[in-house]
């Protein structure tokens, strides 16, 4: 027996002795660390130690040693007296991160927590794949401010996609990584790159490949098992079938539940606390142990783009009217496709909530008020009226009613449409935003008679689509005439006069819907030409994989264009790209609305090119839906940004409110889910809602709301 027990022990010793020193790495740190998981997959032998000094004593000269942060960011790694000198004396090749001060490293003792700052390469050591000014994303970085000569990587707030476009001009730069003797020191934690959702992956592979090669002398690294806890559902070339799209719909709606976005009365105070006055309605995620609401208390907005160091993500604790209508539409669509009554119930509750709360209360509910029928922007700003937000809330409710085969909210919908129509000027434009105090002071007739022009499809065009939809149901000519006037002015000014918000591509995506529905009500060669002009230009940027590349318009017409300096990064709304050609798709402002609108255009015209583009876009959106077993509140979502070259969730995160990793239960999620249902059913929204009984209320509401302007 003794001999049998001794043999395995001797084999282990012999096997250990045969491992080359270059393949053995000594570690002080936790075994589940991302860097260690990757190194283990590459075949390195990891030997763990509790005490760094004892570890050095046991190491041979020139060994490789990793000292990793375990309680980041609360505790810096303790550095025993004499450790740095011992490492130098034995020529130990080491990587040390987030250390306490030692001889040669002196700090103030404070830790700087950052949000918008990113890593920037400032050395040529990493080679051509990671040249100077290359950007690496490090979320919620906690850095030790210290003076360091010749750093390899610094932390700074810089503008640009993958490259710091303005260098480090005008902003502080904090050293992150530097070489010391035969080792490297990081002044933050870099080793948990997967759990912290650092990006882009290829940039981090180059950085870690260089460091490990320098430490071990091994250069044949495969990266085949690179840790990844959040990724697109499918690869770029995966074949997509109807079953995948049905599953995408289910996962897309189940995300509402996984994220706990339905407010429950038991934690209503939490919502109110973090919503505040609406200027910065963000906070930590809703804990999964809290009960999920049924829609009677409303639906939260989604995620902010701010990612914490552990990879979790801030929530947006804001109640918006458009989100309630859009969310109801997605739930009802999925409920019909999947025969899921629980979705239907919540869809109905969200619509009841929309008309019960202050979003439609106050002056918006009084027939003698100039604001009668309008839908307030949000719970904190019910006095603000955006035509576009009203349009999406209206379309959401109308679509939800059609899927539910109900007519319960037709009166409220008609009042909302006419409330917007009577505050639309003589040329069919409404301007971006109307404040209640101005509306009450001047009266709705002031807005009805205004001679204004506002060729901004993002803000104007979907309300035109609503007017065309109502004209089809009622035959009320002023709806058609004002809308045609506005569309003609807008198309005659394309593209030079168009006012764009975050890019010209989103304006094209928004304009397709009213043009498609104009073909529905008046199918003329001119109207088809207008539609094809916009669709064709949009599709010039569609890639083989289905993605639609973002594009900036002329510099004199942009509301939020390219970030003009490092200092301005993150201070206002912004595009996801820095310059035209950047391989980024936007699911908040462009691809989501293009998806819905292309479906309507394809059905309205029967154009096979539109149908082909729609199918490609549907496949693309199915592929890039978020998949994660670790971050359950993100599994099934769509982020705003996707880099289709890297096939990764990556972009410029300059937007102050809805950045690259933002999600939205309304704008993004709902239109993608609901349109995917239409695609699967081979149906258009126009056909879906054709049975609306809204016209039964028309005469009465015209008498009440438009008086002599009938």
The per-residue pLDDT for 556 is: 86
pLDDT for 710 equals 66
Bridge partners of 533, per DSSP, are none
1 vs 585 pLDDT, higher one: 585
The Cα–Cα gap between 559 and 502 comes to: 7
pLDDT at position 8, please?
41
Tell me the pLDDT band of 590, cut-offs 50, 70 and 90. very high
Residue 657 confidence (pLDDT): 84
| pLDDT tens digits, one per residue of 94-133 | 999 999 999 999 998 999 999 999 999 999 999 999 999 9
Closest CA to 591 of 548, 630, 533: 548
pTM for this entry: 0.95
CA distance 328 to 325: 5
- Determine the pLDDT at residue 11: 39
Q: Where is average pLDDT lowest: 4-8, 88-92, 373-377, 597-601?
A: 4-8
Q: Where are the domains of the chain?
A: 20-228, 242-691
First to last CA, the chain: 103
Residue with tokens 């065009």: 461
How far apart CA 525 and CA 531 sit, in angstroms, is 10
| Higher pLDDT pick, 401 / 1 | 401
Q: How far apart are CA 507 and CA 561, in angstroms?
A: 13
- Name residue, tokens 């939260």: 300
Q: Which of 254, 304, 255, 258 is nearest to 284 (CA)?
A: 304
Confidence grade of residue 395 (pLDDT, cut at 50, 70, 90)? very high
pLDDT for the residue numbered 1: 39
Per-residue pLDDT tens digits for 539-569: 999 999 999 999 999 888 999 999 999 999 9
pLDDT band at 292 (very low <50, low <70, confident <90, very high): very high
CA-closest candidate to residue 479, choices 686, 697, 702, 693: 702
Residue from 652, 566, 655 nearest 158 by CA:
566
The architecture CATH gives domain 242-691: Alpha/alpha barrel (1.50)
Query: pLDDT tens for residues 298-323?
Result: 999 999 999 999 999 999 999 999 99
**Model pLDDT, residue 691:** 97
Which has the closest alpha carbon to 262: 334, 347, 196?
347
Compute the mean pLDDT over every residue in the chain, rounded to the nearest whole number: 96
Q: What is the pLDDT of residue 707?
A: 85
Count of Cβ atoms closer than 10 Å to residue 420 Cβ: 24
3-17, 152-166, 379-393, 532-546: least confidently modelled range: 3-17
* pLDDT surpassing 60 at residue 17: no
Report the distance separating Cα 50 and Cα 60, nearest Å: 17
Cβ neighbours, 10 Å, residue 229: 16
Q: Are 346 and 365 in contact (CB under 8 A)?
A: no
| Residue given tokens 């001679």 in the structure block | 451
CATH number of 20-228: 3.40.50
487-495 LR contacts (CB < 8 Å, sep 24+)? 487/428, 487/514, 487/515, 487/518, 487/530, 489/427, 489/428, 489/429, 489/453, 489/455, 490/455, 490/457, 490/460, 490/461, 491/530, 491/533, 493/455, 494/455, 494/533, 494/534, 495/537, 495/553, 495/554
pLDDT of residue 708: 75
* DSSP per residue, 39-54: HHHTTPEEEE-S-HHH
pLDDT in tens, 238-267: 999 999 999 999 999 999 999 999 999 999
Please count the other Cβ atoms lying within 10 Å of the Cβ belonging to residue 8. Answer: 9
For residue 200, say if its preceding peptide bond is cis, omega within 30 degrees of 0: yes
Q: How many CA atoms lie within 13 A of 435 on its CB side?
A: 3
CA dist 416 and 448 (Å) reads: 15
Please tell me the predicted confidence (pLDDT) of residue 19. Answer: 66
What percent of the chain is predicted at pLDDT more than 70?
97
- Helix axis angle for 477-492 and 525-539, nearest 10°, is 50
Q: Report the sign of the C-alpha dihedral through residues 653, 657, 661, 666, in that order.
A: negative
For the segment 613-663, what is each residue's pLDDT rounded down to a tens digit?
999 999 999 999 999 999 999 999 999 999 999 999 999 999 988 999 999
């Amino acid at each position: 027996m003794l001999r049998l027990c001794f043999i395995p022990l001797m084999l282990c010793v012999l096997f250990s002795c045969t491992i080359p020193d270059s393949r053995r790495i000594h570690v002080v740190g936790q075994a589940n660390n991302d860097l260690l998981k990757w190194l283990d997959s590459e075949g390195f032998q990891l030997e763990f130690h509790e005490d760094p000094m004892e570890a050095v004593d046991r190491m041979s000269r020139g060994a490789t040693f990793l000292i990793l942060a375990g309680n980041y960011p609360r505790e810096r790694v303790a550095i025993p007296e004499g450790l740095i000198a011992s490492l130098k004396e034995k020529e130990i090749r080491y990587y040390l991160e987030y250390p306490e001060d030692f001889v040669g490293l002196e700090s103030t003792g404070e830790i700087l927590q950052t949000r918008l700052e990113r890593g920037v390469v400032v050395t040529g050591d990493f080679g051509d794949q990671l040249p100077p000014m290359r950007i690496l994303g490090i979320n919620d970085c906690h850095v030790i401010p210290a003076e360091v000569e010749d750093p390899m990587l610094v932390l700074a707030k810089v503008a640009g996609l993958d490259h710091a476009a303005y260098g480090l001009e005008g902003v502080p730069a904090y050293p992150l990584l530097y070489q010391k003797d035969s080792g490297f020191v990081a002044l933050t934690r870099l080793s948990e790159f997967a759990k912290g959702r650092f990006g882009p992956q290829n940039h981090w592979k180059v950085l870690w490949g260089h460091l490990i090669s320098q430490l071990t002398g091994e250069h044949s690294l495969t990266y085949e098992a690179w840790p990844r806890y959040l990724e697109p559902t499918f690869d770029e070339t995966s074949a997509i079938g109807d079953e995948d799209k049905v599953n995408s719909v289910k996962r897309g709606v189940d995300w509402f539940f996984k994220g706990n976005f339905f407010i429950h009365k038991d934690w209503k105070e939490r919502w109110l606390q973090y919503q505040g006055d609406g200027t910065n309605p963000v906070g930590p995620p809703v804990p999964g142990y809290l009960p999920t609401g049924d829609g009677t208390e409303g639906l939260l907005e989604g995620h902010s783009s701010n990612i914490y160091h552990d990879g979790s993500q801030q929530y947006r604790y804001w109640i918006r009217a458009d989100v309630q209508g859009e969310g109801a539409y997605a739930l009802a669509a999925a409920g019909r496709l999947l025969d899921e009554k629980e979705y239907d119930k919540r869809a109905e509750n969200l619509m009841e909530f929309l008309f019960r709360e202050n979003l439609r209360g106050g002056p918006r509910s009084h027939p003698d008020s100039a604001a009668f029928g309008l839908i307030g922007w949000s719970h904190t700003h019910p006095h603000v009226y955006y035509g576009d937000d009203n349009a999406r809330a209206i379309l959401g409710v109308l679509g939800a009613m059609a899927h539910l085969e109900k007519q319960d909210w037709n009166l409220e919908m008609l009042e909302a449409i006419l409330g917007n129509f009577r505050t639309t000027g003589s040329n069919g434009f409404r301007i971006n935003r109307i404040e209640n105090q101005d509306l009450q002071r001047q009266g709705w007739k002031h807005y009805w008679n205004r001679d204004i022009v506002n060729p901004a499809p993002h803000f104007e065009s979907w309300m035109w689509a609503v007017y065309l939809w109502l004209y089809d149901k009622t035959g009320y000519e002023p709806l058609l005439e004002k809308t045609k006037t506005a569309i003609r002015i807008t198309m005659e000014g394309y593209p030079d006069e168009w006012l764009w918000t975050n890019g010209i591509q989103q304006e094209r995506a928004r304009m397709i819907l009213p043009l498609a529905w104009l073909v529905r009500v008046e199918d003329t060669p001119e109207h088809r030409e207008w539609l094809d002009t916009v669709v064709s230009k949009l599709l010039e940027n569609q890639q083989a994989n289905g993605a639609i590349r973002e594009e900036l318009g002329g510099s004199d017409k942009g509301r939020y264009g390219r970030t003009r300096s490092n200092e301005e990064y993150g201070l206002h709304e912004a595009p996801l790209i820095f310059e035209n050609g950047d391989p980024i798709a936007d699911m908040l402002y462009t691809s989501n609305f293009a998806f819905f609108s292309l479906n309507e255009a394809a059905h309205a015209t029967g154009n096979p090119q539109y149908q082909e583009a729609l199918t490609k876009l549907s496949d693309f959106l199915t592929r890039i839906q978020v998949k994660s077993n670790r971050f359950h509140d993100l599994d099934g979502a769509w982020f705003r940004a996707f880099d289709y070259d890297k096939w990764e969730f990556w972009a410029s995160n300059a937007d102050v409110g809805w950045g690259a990793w933002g999600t939205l239960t309304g704008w993004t999620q709902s239109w993608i889910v609901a349109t995917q249902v239409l695609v699967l059913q081979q149906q258009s929204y126009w056909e879906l809602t054709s049975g609306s009984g809204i016209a039964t209320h028309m005469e009465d509401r015209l008498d009440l709301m438009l008086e002599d302007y009938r």
